[in-house]
């Protein structure tokens, strides 16, 4: 193999793209998944350093498939769209399965995170989602159509979302409880 003199410049590469970044199979950035993405909040974060202030943005996102799966994620970046992308990726990694009965939840539950407390109560079909702000976003992402909620304690959207998800994770259907106890659902109901 002969080496050509190129006066200190980069060596020429073949046109078959071997070893280049472009030749690698790309991950599908715009995956056409049927996930519902809800933006909860965007915060501007400032860090004071010797040379001045560094400003970044923190985005909070909830992602769900409206079939009982939901995830929450946060992302920080110098620009808002990049922060949102990072938050969506983090939310997809943190997906959890939520137990539901038809269009509501199986039983009343309290979700708690920090000083945030969210009371969730099952409702009859046709009631709708009676919830405000961040709680509504989470419930719509899960796919719950009929529920009544009350948020108490803090009104910090991040803690309210985390409290809602913690409460939803603790839900159990009668079949799941019967399986854990090694009984039939009819034995538990009495």
Tokens matching residue 36: 């519902």
C-alpha–C-alpha distance, residues 71 and 85, integer Å: 14
Give the count of beta carbons closer than 10 Å to the beta carbon of residue 51. 6
At residue 10, the pLDDT reads 59
Q: What is the pLDDT of residue 97?
A: 92
The CATH code that applies to domain 98-178 is 3.30.230.10
Mean pLDDT, the chain, as a whole number? 85
Q: Which residues pair with 56 in a beta bridge?
A: 45
Strands 52-64 and 36-49 come out as antiparallel
Between the alpha carbon of residue 40 and those of residues 3, 73, 147, the distances in Å are 58, 10, 20
Pick the CATH number of 36-96 from 3.40.50.300, 3.40.50.800, 3.30.160.20, 1.20.120.420: 3.30.160.20
Instruction: Find all residues with CB under 8 Å of 72, minimum gap 6, and list them.
Output: 60, 61, 62, 63, 91, 94, 138, 161, 162, 165
Where does residue 160 rank: exposed (0-12), middle (13-18), buried (19+ CB within 10 A)? Answer: buried
Tell me the C-alpha to C-alpha distance, in Å, between residue 58 and each of 62, 89, 148.
14, 14, 30
Domain map (residue ranges) of the chain: 36-96, 98-178
Q: What's residue 18's pLDDT?
A: 53
Q: How far is the C-alpha of 38 from the C-alpha of 32, rounded, in Å?
A: 16
Q: What is the pLDDT of residue 26?
A: 45
Q: Is the dihedral of CA 46, 136, 93, 84 positive or negative?
A: negative
Supply the pLDDT for residue 176.
85
Nearest in space to 130 (alpha carbons), one of 118, 112, 116: 118
Instruction: Tell me the chain's radius of gyration from C-alpha atoms.
Output: 24
Helices (H), 77-122: 80-93
The pLDDT of residue 182: 87
DSSP 8-state secondary structure symbol assigned to residue 79: S
pLDDT tens digits, the chain, 190 residues: what are they?
Answer: 555 556 666 555 555 555 555 554 444 444 567 889 999 999 999 999 998 999 999 999 999 998 989 999 999 999 999 999 999 999 999 999 999 988 899 999 999 999 999 999 999 999 999 998 899 999 999 999 999 999 999 999 999 999 999 999 999 888 888 888 888 888 877 7
């Amino acid at each position: 193999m002969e080496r050509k003199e190129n006066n200190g410049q980069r060596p020429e590469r073949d046109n078959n793209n071997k070893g280049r970044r472009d030749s690698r199979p790309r991950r599908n950035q715009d995956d056409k998944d049927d996930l519902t993405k809800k933006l909860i909040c965007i915060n501007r974060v400032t860090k004071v350093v010797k040379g001045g202030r560094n400003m970044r943005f923190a985005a909070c996102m909830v992602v769900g498939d409206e079939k009982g799966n939901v995830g929450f994620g946060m992302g920080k970046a110098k620009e808002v769209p990049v922060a949102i992308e990072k938050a969506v990726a983090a939310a997809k990694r943190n997906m959890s399965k939520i137990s539901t009965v038809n269009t509501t939840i199986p039983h009343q539950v309290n979700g708690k995170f920090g000083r945030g407390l969210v009371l969730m109560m099952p409702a009859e079909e046709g009631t709708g989602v009676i919830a405000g702000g961040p709680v509504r976003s989470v419930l719509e992402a899960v796919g719950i159509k009929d529920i009544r909620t009350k948020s108490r304690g803090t009104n910090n959207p991040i803690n309210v979302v985390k409290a809602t998800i913690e409460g939803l994770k603790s839900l159990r259907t009668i079949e799941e409880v019967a399986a854990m106890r090694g009984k039939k659902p009819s034995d538990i109901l009495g």
